[in-house]
Amino acid sequence: MSPEPPRTSWRQQLSPAGSLRNRAWHWLRKQSRLLLSWRGPETLDIQDLAAGKKGFRWLIVSGCPGASRRYRADHLASYLKSAGARVAILQSQDSRLKSQRNAILQSVDGLIFQRVPADNASLKLRDDARKQGLKTVYECDDYLVFENNRSDPDSKNGEQGNSQAVYLNDRDLKRHRDMLKGCDFGLASTDFLRERMLAQGLKRVFVFRNGYSVKLGELSRKARDLSSKSLTTFRIGYASGTPTHDHDFGSISDVVAETLGRHSNIRLSIIGPLSLTGTITAHSQKIDREAWLDWEELPGRLATWDLNLAPFTLGSPFNQGKSAVKFLEAALVGVPTLASPLPSYLTAEKTGPGLTLARTPKEWSNALSEAIENRDATRKRGEQALQTALSHFSPKQRQIDAIELLSQLNRED
């Protein structure tokens, strides 16, 4: 007897997973949540900043919400504070950057502009800071924010497009370049981005790699403690995050479809918007989908997986600049990752075990089969991935990196 087809809700019928309507609804919902959670007004204690040690007083001006803000502003601030610095964060549109500009500039030694485009207010703030002898840093974690490559398959509008291309036209790209070129230093999340920022004219660019926060570490620990994996079902998972990963997942879609068809005990979990086409659509009964998860809920879901997938199109400069966050977040809950060999993932592989890299469809197929057929070894790689994350991506390690960064920023040339 054939299995009963899964029931679908009225919402799923009106907006099927992966459809254009579903993707549009996901985007609108996510943007509204980002705006509602966009912190403000943040605490600003000018006297506390001014009381800090010379060279250790910094203001981070954040121009991008979501994961970028979290990893590149919130996390960075916590690492700098642990290194002895006094740090405040303000949104780039915060009115206090204008009304209290002079007092702020007199209380800090430098400003870090996290993905802030040039407008009258930000240019005034940057240029006044430089006139007063303060250090200015342009921080970025996305290649397509300041440099467009129209031949990049992930920079085109449409089904396989990168979301940056939707709102970063030539004018917006120029605004980021103008902000970048007028700063003293650059701060990048990967070596590739460092090279691209140097190519734009910056003389010195520092690489500060992503790590995890104390809160994410604690959430992940709780998720590990509460996780209960099925003894019979092997669950592979993919978290797309944004509607920009069709091309990435499409590079392994047929391999995953073949794996789902060959193994009866396999299920695929997908978090976030993703259009599934081709042979994998025949296995919809073995695919579980969730439209979106808040980052605080993500560890609990990742902890139910046996293997995390992180495929990327290798010919994309946009992808070349990505950091290994997908590996890190899965590793923190003891789940190993199978990924494409992007530069950041090659670097992560060198730091310790728990990450398997595959380039060709055959390599992906073989690695998937090995993980499924030897669950004990896969579980062991998950434990190794956790140790790699705790040893090399921890707040303590990033504190050491922050001490070095402050030393570099304060060095007199």
Q: How far apart are CA 351 and CA 355, in angstroms?
A: 10
Same domain, 276 and 250: yes
Same domain, 65 and 111: yes
Q: Is 160 exposed, middle or buried (0-12, 13-18, 19+ CB in 10 A)?
A: middle
Residue 236 has φ and ψ, to the nearest 5°, of: -100, 150
Is pLDDT at 5 greater than 50 in this prediction?
no
Same domain, 199 and 270: no
Predicted local distance difference test score (pLDDT) of residue 42: 85
Q: For residue 119, how many C-alpha atoms fall within 13 Å in the half-sphere facing its CB?
A: 10
Same domain, 140 and 271: no
Q: For residue 293, how many C-alpha atoms fall within 13 Å in the half-sphere facing its CB?
A: 17
Does 5 reside within a domain? no
Same domain, 231 and 294: yes
Does 66 reside within a domain? yes
CATH at 275: 3.40.50.2000
Same domain, 248 and 324: yes
Does 376 reside within a domain? yes
Q: How far apart are CA 107 and CA 155, in angstroms?
A: 40
Q: How far apart are CA 368 and CA 201, in angstroms?
A: 43
Query: Residue type at 408?
Result: Q
Sheet holding 110-114: strands in order across? Answer: 86-91, 57-62, 110-114, 135-140, 185-188, 205-207
Domain range for 97: 46-211+395-409
Q: How far apart are CA 6 and CA 286, in angstroms?
A: 10
Does 104 reside within a domain? yes
Same domain, 219 and 363: yes
Q: How far apart are CA 372 and CA 375, in angstroms?
A: 6
Same domain, 134 and 147: yes
Does 344 reside within a domain? yes
How many domains is the chain partitioned into structurally?
2
Q: How far apart are CA 149 and CA 363, in angstroms?
A: 29
Strands in 167-286 per DSSP E: 185-188, 205-207, 234-239, 266-271
**pLDDT tier at 364 (50, 70, 90 boundaries)?**
very high
Same domain, 317 and 399: no
The highest-confidence range among 17-21, 190-194, 238-242, by mean pLDDT, is: 190-194
Q: How far apart are CA 142 and CA 140, in angstroms?
A: 6
Same domain, 60 and 180: yes
Predicted local distance difference test score (pLDDT) of residue 41: 62
Does 31 reside within a domain? no
**pLDDT tier at 17 (50, 70, 90 boundaries)?**
low
Same domain, 365 and 402: no
Does 271 reside within a domain? yes
Is pLDDT at 1 greater than 70 in this prediction?
no
Query: 31-45, 114-128, 226-240: which range is least confident on average?
Result: 31-45
Give residue-wise pLDDT tens across range 138-156. 999 987 788 876 545 444 4
DSSP string computed for 141-190? S-GGGT---TT-TTSSSSTT--THHHH--HHHHHHHHHHHHTSSEEEESS
**pLDDT tier at 292 (50, 70, 90 boundaries)?**
confident
Is pLDDT at 366 greater than 70 in this prediction?
yes
Element (H or E) spanning 60, and its range? strand 57-62
Same domain, 279 and 370: yes
Does 41 reside within a domain? no
Averaged pLDDT of the chain: 88
Q: How far apart are CA 195 and CA 357, in angstroms?
A: 24
